[in-house]
Structure 1
Amino acid sequence: MPLNWIKKTEGAPVDAGAFSHAAGVPVAHLELWPHRSLPPKGFAGVMLAAFALILVPLFPLLGTPVAWGLLPFLMGAIWLLWAGLRRSYRDGELSEELTLWSDRIEVRRTNPRGPAQEWHANPYWVRVTMHEKGGPVENYVTLSGDGREVELGAFLSPEERTELYDDLSEMLSRVAA
């Protein structure tokens, strides 16, 4: 599953003395990333298989002028497949990180192209909402607080977003209590 919780629940949530969330240990840290259905070895296998299958109709034509006429189009098809899969990998570099302290929650979204986006608020005032219908995707999860509403995990499956909503609701209710 493309989400990883690191929960720190042992011991007191806050060190004694003056507390700063930057120096303190987070209560929880969440990493989210899009699902990768084709690993790098699979990418190489797909490219090799496509190259071999495209050469099959070319074999009977070897040594004829027709082969030279078809070759640019067949190699163009291989190049388009390679470029499309590479673009998909670059788009998959998207990631989101949520860090939760007792007095602060931060969300950092790293986009494949463009600047990173950040949001933070006091977890006591943050509200987690799941829009089952009407959002851009099914079971759309948002965090509201500090005058803004941010999406979280829009690239996850509906079941994973439901699990994320349940986990976030439970973590925020524990921190706010």
Structure 2
Amino acid sequence: MLSANNLVILDRDGVINHDSDNYIKSLDEWVPYPSSITAIARLTRAGFTVAVATNQSGIARGYYDETTLHAMHDHLMTLVEAQGGHITHIAYCPHGPDDKCSCRKPLPGMLLNIQQLLGLESLTGSWIVGDSLRDLQAGEAVGCKTALVRTGKGVKTEQKGVGLKKTKVFDDLAQFVEWLIDS
């Protein structure tokens, strides 16, 4: 039976793949960090359930459509499965910052969606791994333990230092996974 303690929720851009201030608008622009795919597969093989929660306001801004987003996510899943891993669910928010939705991080809507989809009573004890404060705030709102990676916007987030007292900090997703499995 799935336990919240075995759930790891990942942000996408800046954690799994390179981020861009100009948005990741196509499959060609979606470039995973080489170690992230292996790290996700390693989590799966160690008995963890992996989900992704990603803000994708580029859809609302008209930079790309949901078909393009699904192509990126299908490619991600194919890469992970080729390494012996599995991503259980990818939740995304297609809304812009002014759309007043409940799913855009730092609000916890996507995480609650993952919780419901997986049939968990709560997310207390699960992990959220992100590169921005909003990722961590979304996780904290539902009882997740938080990890910041220095990839993507992570170094800037760490330098600001705001809201990071309980957060573990790692160079990248692979370092987090190694620590989690070995601890």
TM-score bracket for the superposition, by shorter chain length:
under 0.3
**Higher RCO (CA-CA < 8 Å; seq separation 6+):** 2
Larger radius of gyration: 1
Q: TM-score with structure 2 length normalisation?
A: 0.24
Structure 1 or 2: larger strand share?
1
